[in-house]
Amino acid sequence: MEHHESSAASRAASMERLVKEVRSAGNCSHPVRLRGELINLATGEIRPSSLRVACKDRRSVHCLSCSALYQADAWIQVAVGLNGGKGVPESVATHPQVFLTLTAPSFGPVHRRTPSGRCQVREYGPCPHGRSLRCRLRHDNNADVLGTPICEECFDYSRAVLWNAQCSKLWNRTVQEMRRRLKVLATKNDTESNHVSLSYLKVAEFQRRGLVHFHVVLRLDGGGDQISPPPPWLSSSMLANIVSTTVPHVHWTGHDGHDVVWGEQFDLADLTSSGEHHRRIASYLAKYATKTTDDSLGLARRFRSRADIEHAQVEPHRMKLALTSWDLAQRPEFAPLRLAHHAHALGYTGQIITKSRHFSVTFASLREVRADFQRSRSDSDPTLAHLHYDGRGYDDPRAPHAAEMFHRMKVELRQEAAARRRQVAAAVEVDQ
């Protein structure tokens, strides 16, 4: 009996320790362990310390809790760039703004969903490999075959990977050219060219065919170091005109001697002064912020060897793109593209979210504000920490699972509270 009680008590104690540890790391699944000493600045007392801090990984396959925070920050970045707030003037909502989606060219026919529903109805074939390139099927939205080549040999894997590897540079050239055209327009309208500027935030998304798409919010500002309104003669249709005349013409000779260009399809929408629209765009972009190349664990980390790729749990078309990236890396002319390093991203070398300096607040500043807020709520004395890296994760093997569970509970509680608030607001409205 006694033995029974003490083991129950020790189980309870170990559970309590687990909850405390996971909570203190912000429900992170794989926190960073730090060890060293803490100095109490009020009393001068020094004591050894070991603590776990959140991993801050943006990818939801790695850490639910940290990726949720990242997604919230991404949402704020976009929303603030469109509507102002958090130090960005609210007048930005009236600046000319457009939403642009840029695609990659075709590197061979793939299974797809079309407005008519049917996949590929035009007869191109038979292809040089003797296959028909026609597919009359209507594919389901989540059919595995979507995005995969109709003839694998017709799909140009090398050029697809090289396009991914060079599309960030293509974007930089596109922005440069748009800014040049904006300055020309300013001069024509008797405005000094440094009184207009173009800022943006762009999010990369991997399509099913393994090529990168860019979703971009573009905004016109005035000149100077602070965000200011652009001259009144500048309209969103002028911005749309600059974009739509620039995108089809930007090109340069890539590392393989082929021209690097955008796909023929691009989408452009006016965003100026449409609050509801802004909210949707922010949610839409933030959704991509936490994804990996295909949202699986197979492509979530860098590969160390070719065999690593061959053994990864990855769909065959994407595996072939990753292997192509690895193999092209062996050729000296592609050395600057660091293709082995980026094989898990199918050659793509850029960040998922990038923005020009003036568009909005930064991730770092949002984190800083959160840390300040937490410090202001804690009533302990200020401390100075001398800490060094001491590995990753928890000692208790149950902890990562517990972290996910606590995170989900927190989200559910928050949603319930929001639903209750809405109910109360609706009831008040009915009473009146």
Region label for 27, one of left (φ > 0), alpha (ψ between -120 and 50) or beta (otherwise): left
Could you say whether residue 129 binds Zn ion (CB under 5 A)? yes
Burial of residue 114 (CB within 10 Å: 0-12, 13-18, 19+) is exposed
Residue (of 226, 238, 248) closest to 188 by Cα position? 238
Task: Kindly state the smallest distance separating residue 27's Cβ from Zn ion, in Å.
Answer: 8
60, 67 contact by CB (below 8 A): yes
129-137, 191-199, 208-216, 424-432 -> range binding Zn ion (CB under 5 A): 129-137
Q: Kindly tell me which of 137 and 411 has the beta carbon lying closer to Zn ion.
A: 137
Task: Kindly state the smallest distance separating residue 211's Cβ from Zn ion, in Å.
Answer: 17
Could you say whether residue 340 binds Zn ion (CB under 5 A)? no
Q: Kindly tell me which of 120 and 246 has the beta carbon lying closer to Zn ion.
A: 120
Which of residues 64, 74, 151, 161 is near Zn ion by CB under 5 A?
A: 151
- Coil, strand, or helix at residue 266? strand
Residue (of 162, 113, 108, 179) closest to 338 by Cα position? 162
Residue (of 7, 130, 3, 22) closest to 393 by Cα position? 22
Kindly state the tokens that stand for 19. 């909850």
Residue (of 426, 386, 403) closest to 63 by Cα position? 403
Q: Kindly tell me which of 25 and 309 has the beta carbon lying closer to Zn ion.
A: 25
Could you say whether residue 300 binds Zn ion (CB under 5 A)? no
Which of residues 28, 178, 250, 271 is near Zn ion by CB under 5 A?
A: 28
Could you say whether residue 196 binds Zn ion (CB under 5 A)? no
Task: Kindly state the smallest distance separating residue 55's Cβ from Zn ion, in Å.
Answer: 3
Which of residues 61, 72, 127, 297 is near Zn ion by CB under 5 A?
A: 127
Task: Kindly state the smallest distance separating residue 383's Cβ from Zn ion, in Å.
Answer: 23
123, 232 contact by CB (below 8 A): no
Which of residues 16, 90, 140, 153 is near Zn ion by CB under 5 A?
A: 153
Task: Kindly state the smallest distance separating residue 110's Cβ from Zn ion, in Å.
Answer: 8
318, 329 contact by CB (below 8 A): no
Could you say whether residue 135 binds Zn ion (CB under 5 A)? yes
Kindly state the tokens that stand for 328. 């092209």
Q: Kindly tell me which of 55 and 216 has the beta carbon lying closer to Zn ion.
A: 55
Residue (of 62, 64, 38, 39) closest to 51 by Cα position? 38
The number of residues making up the chain comes to 432
148-156, 218-226, 313-321, 360-368 -> range binding Zn ion (CB under 5 A): 148-156
Site for Zn ion in 64-93 (CB under 5 A): 66
Site for Zn ion in 95-124 (CB under 5 A): 111, 119
Q: Kindly tell me which of 88 and 151 has the beta carbon lying closer to Zn ion.
A: 151
Q: Kindly tell me which of 10 and 114 has the beta carbon lying closer to Zn ion.
A: 114
- The DSSP result for 126-151, as a single string, is S-TTS----B-----TT-TTTTSBSS
What is the pattern of x (binds Zn ion, CB under 5 A) and - over residues 32-71? Answer: ----------------------xx-------x--x-----
Spatial separation of the C-alpha atoms in residues 66 and 55, rounded to whole Å: 7
Interacting residues with Zn ion (CB under 5 A): 28, 54-55, 63, 66, 111, 119, 127, 129, 135, 137, 151, 153-154
